[in-house]
Structure 1
Amino acid sequence: MAATLIYCYDPMCSWCWGFRPTWIKLQKALQGLIDEDKLLIQPMLGGLAVDSDTPMPDDMRIKLQATWHTIQRQLGTEFNFDFWQHNVPRRSTYPACRACYVARDFGLEDEMYHAIQQAYYLNAKNPSDLDTLVACAEHIGLKAEGFRKAMAHVAQQALLEEEIAQARHLQLNSFPSLALIKGDRLVPIAIDYQDPLSMLESIKKAL
């Protein structure tokens, strides 16, 4: 039976945005193991911040902007800081997570994930707003009306919350996180934001 590599993320996690280029390289490096049915990659939504209509406090805004600067300096990641002038930020990532959950049913989870990141970090749009998420859905080829209905269904049935509880049960409490499940063993894989090779070796060793 194939082992499972869980990638736990939040589409509004700035460190996940910084990790994206290295994560893509790691997935390419793992393709041989996937093709041989030795490994399955399973995305899992982490859920940084619950639904909220409350504007983000000033201290949180300052802290997050400082984080963006840190990631930009350390990793060379691009950010559009106009976001902080053009929006009323909210500490609410569950809607963006639900959008990825909905897109998963269409085989478009990663496309939605990336569309949200681009809208947020490059185009200064607010993914806490449903209208932004609908635009992302349309960008990847989903119908707006069907997407809105699916988002409401996921919220009503607390489907995202079930997945977040599963992530917490696996002790995947920071984002991005990687963990390999083989049989009844769970092996955390340390994140390297700049080099996929150390993670590749850790995964191969755990296998």
Structure 2
Amino acid sequence: MASLIYIADPMCAWCYGITPELEALREALPGLPVHVVAGGLRVGAAQVDEAYIDRLRGQWQEVAARAALPFDDRAVTTPGFNPDTEAACRAVVAARLLSPAAALPVCSAILRAFHAEGRDVTRPQTLAAIAVPVLRGLGVETDEAAFLERYASDETARATLEDFLQTRRWGVDGFPALVLERDGRLDLVSLGYRQLPQLVDTMLALVEAEAAPAE
């Protein structure tokens, strides 16, 4: 059975940009499982400076123009903000350990909270406030205290690190990345932002190429 591997970082602007396209792809292919791997965009990053903010704003303007999505820079312009993405990645992994189906919607919710709402998603309490309603909506019985316990666990720390290492083993150095998996075979669908028609065309081409008889 085919599945889609989504390698992403919940603080990556282009991952935010591709979120509507990925949601539309899931609607078009409702039976296609999507597995989220946390990429670790800026693990161990330091505090921001004006040059960083200027670069980030330029990227956000490009994403806004291409994906027609809103941005709010309140988090990144708060004094002392540290753009280390490990915490947000760990929250996605914690949600995945609670329910595999929760990883993608929790990742999407964190992306929106950071980019569109200006919330500081490097703070565990903020991440719990974002993730728990999503988990409850999927039928997972949890609260913020239980989520934070899972978030802080050694199991979640190890699983998050393994996601980072797997991303490197695959040679993925940009996000988002979409990989089609079929019986252990991996084919790159997208590295970076692409719109729905391009995603569908690439996936169909991969399937048709595999189905074509050898000459």
**Counterpart-to-counterpart distance in 1, 2:33 and 2:133:** 27
**Counterpart-to-counterpart distance in 2, 1:196 and 1:61:** 30
8 Å CA contact 2:175–2:191 kept in 1: the answer is no
Change beyond 3 A, Cα 1:138–1:185 = closer
Deviations, residues 114-140 of structure 1 (Å, cap 9, x unaligned): 321232122211111122112213333
Change beyond 3 A, Cα 1:119–1:60 = same
**Counterpart-to-counterpart distance in 2, 1:104 and 1:154:** 15
Counterpart position of 1:145: 145
Deviations, residues 45-78 of structure 1 (Å, cap 9, x unaligned): 11112145x4223322221121111111222111
1:14: Cα distance to partner? 0.6
Aligned equivalent of 1:98, options 90, 94, 101: 90
Counterpart position of 1:14: 13
Residue 46 of structure 1 pairs with residue 46 of structure 2:
no
Change beyond 3 A, Cα 1:183–1:78 = same
Counterpart position of 1:185: 185
- Secondary structure at the aligned position of 1:48 is classed as coil
TM-score, normalised by the number of residues in structure 2: 0.82
**Counterpart-to-counterpart distance in 2, 1:206 and 1:175:** 21
**Counterpart-to-counterpart distance in 2, 1:56 and 1:155:** 30
Amino acid at match of 1:163: D
Q: Which runs of 5+ in 2 are unaligned?
A: 137-141, 208-215
Amino acid at match of 1:50: V
**Counterpart-to-counterpart distance in 1, 2:77 and 2:44:** 22
**Counterpart-to-counterpart distance in 2, 1:192 and 1:130:** 28
Q: Which runs of 5+ in 1 are unaligned?
A: none
CA RMSD between the two structures: 2.2
8 Å CA contact 1:98–1:154 kept in 2: the answer is no
